[in-house]
Structure formats: C-alpha cells, structure tokens
C-alpha cells in the first residue's frame, strides 16, 4: 500500500510540474526584447535604438506607428536579416513589435522557427500552442505570436495596451 501511495504521489508531483511548464506566467517587464526594443518604450527611446531615421507617424486617437520594409532596398546593419518592421504605440508607449524576417535555411518550418525563438528567450517549446499554421504563447500581460507563411514573422504585444487601443477605437467609432 505504501508503494502505491508513493507512486501516486510521485505521479501527481510529476503531472503538476509538467502543467507548470505549459504556462508562461511571465510579467510584462520580463517580455523579451526584439531588436533591442522593449514593450513600454517611448517613441524617443525607440528612436535611440535605431537613430534619427526612425520616423514615427501619428495615426489617430493617440496611436502612433512606424513601418519600414526592406524589400527594394537593403536593411541597415542594425536590422540585418529583417524584411519589414512594424512598431505600434499607444499613450506614448510601444505596445506591439512586429518583425518579418528574411527566409533562412534553419527556419524552414514553423516548428524550426518557434524552437529557435524558444532557445533564444529561454521559453520551453511546450509553451507554444500551434493552430492552423500560427503559433502563440500567452503570458497574460503579453503575448508572442509567430508564423512562417511567406517569411518568418514574430509579433510581441502588450495585451493591456492592445485592449486599450481597441476600446479607444470603439469609443471613437461609436
């Protein structure tokens, strides 16, 4: 009877540790940096990362954006391997970073790409949920989304600010 109880206890502990590995539980300040950009940066701080050429446009309703693609011209050294970069700001804070990368031999599949990202950021690969060719990690305060449809793409979002943007859009549009 003791051995059965010991086995059940061990299995319970093992199952709990596996379940804990499948949740992110990270806070916003621990979100990964992408190209030296962190969620919550001001437009001025983002400009300091890339220099004065970063022209952030006032879109509407307190939203600011920056978009640049490197399809017809080569990316600067600070953005080597990047095909396009999209930054979204709300209330003076960077709330979403979206990066499209050049295709690479070691990122042939979405699994290759998410494995590489997991290794880079020390996230367990098991955190990614993959559905219909899109991968996602939900950490509560922030999410990571990835796909490899045309090129490898990653999107890091502050979910609270994204919800604020949506609420402001609804309020303005009636």
Per-residue model confidence as pLDDT tens digits over 40-80: 999 889 888 877 666 777 776 678 888 989 888 888 888 88
Residue 121 lies in a domain: yes
Return the number of other C-beta atoms located less than 10 Å from residue 146's C-beta.
Answer: 21
Which residues span the domain enclosing 141? 24-173
Residue 6 lies in a domain: no
The C-alpha R_g of the chain, in whole angstroms, comes to 20
pLDDT at 122: 87
Residue 3 lies in a domain: no
- Tens of pLDDT, residue by residue over 80-138, are 899 999 999 998 899 999 999 999 999 999 999 999 999 998 889 999 999 999 999 99
pTM, full prediction: 0.82
DSSP 66-93: EEEE-SSSPPPGGGTTEEEEEEEEETTE
* Residues written for the chain: 174
Residue 1 lies in a domain: no
Q: How would you list the strands of the sheet with 142-147, edge to edge?
A: 57-60, 63-69, 82-90, 93-101, 153-158, 142-147, 134-138, 129-131
Tokens, residue 29: 């300040």
Residue 101 lies in a domain: yes
Residue 5 lies in a domain: no
Q: Number of folded domains in the chain?
A: 1
Q: How far apart are CA 105 and CA 100, in angstroms?
A: 15
Under 8 Å between Cβ of 57 and 65: yes
Residue 13 lies in a domain: no
Under 8 Å between Cβ of 109 and 148: yes
Under 8 Å between Cβ of 68 and 46: no
- Tens of pLDDT, residue by residue over 7-45, are 333 333 333 333 334 457 778 888 999 999 999 999 889
Residue 158 lies in a domain: yes
């Amino acid at each position: 009877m003791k051995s059965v109880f010991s086995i059940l206890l061990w299995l319970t502990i093992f199952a709990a540790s596996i379940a804990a590995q499948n949740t992110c539980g990270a806070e916003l300040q621990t979100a990964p940096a992408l190209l030296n950009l962190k969620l919550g940066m001001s437009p001025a701080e983002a400009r300091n990362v890339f220099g004065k050429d970063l022209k952030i446009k006032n879109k509407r309703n307190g939203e600011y954006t920056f978009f640049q693609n490197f399809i017809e011209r080569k990316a600067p050294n600070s953005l080597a391997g990047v095909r396009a970069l999209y930054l979204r700001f709300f209330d003076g804070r960077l709330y979403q970073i979206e990066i499209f990368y050049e295709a690479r031999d070691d990122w042939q599949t979405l699994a290759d790409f998410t494995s590489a990202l997991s290794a880079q950021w020390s996230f367990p690969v098991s955190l990614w949920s993959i559905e219909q060719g899109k991968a996602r990690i939900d950490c509560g305060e922030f999410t990571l989304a990835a796909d490899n449809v045309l090129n490898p793409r990653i999107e890091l979002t502050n979910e609270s600010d994204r919800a604020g943007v949506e609420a402001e859009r609804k309020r303005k549009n009636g």
